[in-house]
Amino acid sequence: MSKKVQIVEVGPRDGFQSVKEFIPTETKKKVIDLLVASGCRKIQATSFVNPKAIPQMADAAEVAEYVLKTYPNVSFYALTPNARGVENACDAGFREVSYVISVSPGHNMANVRRTIDESFEGLAAIRQSLPDMKIVLDAATTFGCPFDGKVSIGQVVAYLEKARAIGITIVDLCDTIGIANPRQVRAVLETVCEKFPEIDFGVHIHDTRNMGMANSLAAIECGVTRVSTTVGGMGGCPFAPGASGNTSTEDLVFMLQEMGYDTGIDFAKLLETARFLKENVPANYSGHQMNIAPSQCVMG
């Protein structure tokens, strides 16, 4: 079990996308400033999607220009749902993107209006046209789907075989609706890590049913060293009914550092970031640390 865990902060994308009222671009930049100051070194800064589908991401190019010029030593990347999104991210200066394909057919159709095979065909074409672009495959609904119900380990394996066939080597297993449990997380990871040793697996666990921390820890205890979270625990998938909230970055950092893990993040500064966010952005928050008196938020 590794003692070092990389926290991937996805709040500026997954957290913000669920907020209906447009967040001023300067506020988004300020939140990213605070995240960087707290020690976050891997941040999903925005998403290149159709603004008609998610108006909150209409300023993606402006956010990209700011973060890439201001913080050259921080690893920023963007979410992209299709070839146009990848091209726009590339034009904006990103050299790493996350590309979403769902494990369940129903969610993939609701999310991008494509079958899973069509999505993989599109991803293969992108890899050919942009061979230098680093692609993290977000395997949405790995643990369950709001449309299709339970997702079997066999479905996950078949999905990853498609990914391997086109040369994907980085995959984030996503609990899009927060339906997973620790036993399931362990079973999935034990299987896929054995069958696909060449793939670097991370997890992105939602906290809809208050199991985000337990499921994230289960993944870490299976050897995962990359975990995606959102500051304040904000967020949720717009195309997954009932999905609300992500695992809170500050809650997970507090727990891991208390357990002796190295996250590289200054908890006190991260907590300040969460509180700034809650004061300035009206959203759904699932984080607990921001509600505790400052005198009680002391690392052991």
Catalytically active residues are 237
Residues 6+ apart with CB under 8 A from 152: none
Q: Judge whether 42 and 6 are in contact, CB under 8 Å.
A: yes
Around Cβ 19, how many Cβ atoms within 10 Å?
Answer: 16
d(CA 195, CA 6) in angstroms, rounded, equals 23
Host H or E run for residue 182: helix 182-195
**DSSP 8-state assignment for residue 175:** E
CB within 8 Å of 196: residues ≥ 6 apart: 160, 164
CA torsion through residues 99, 100, 105, 110, sign: negative
How far is Cα 233 from Cα 83, in angstroms, rounded to an integer?
A: 29
| Rounded Cα–Cα distance for residues 35 and 250 (Å) | 11
117: enclosing H helix or E strand: helix 116-129
Q: What is d(CA 230, CA 12) in angstroms, rounded to the nearest whole number?
A: 8
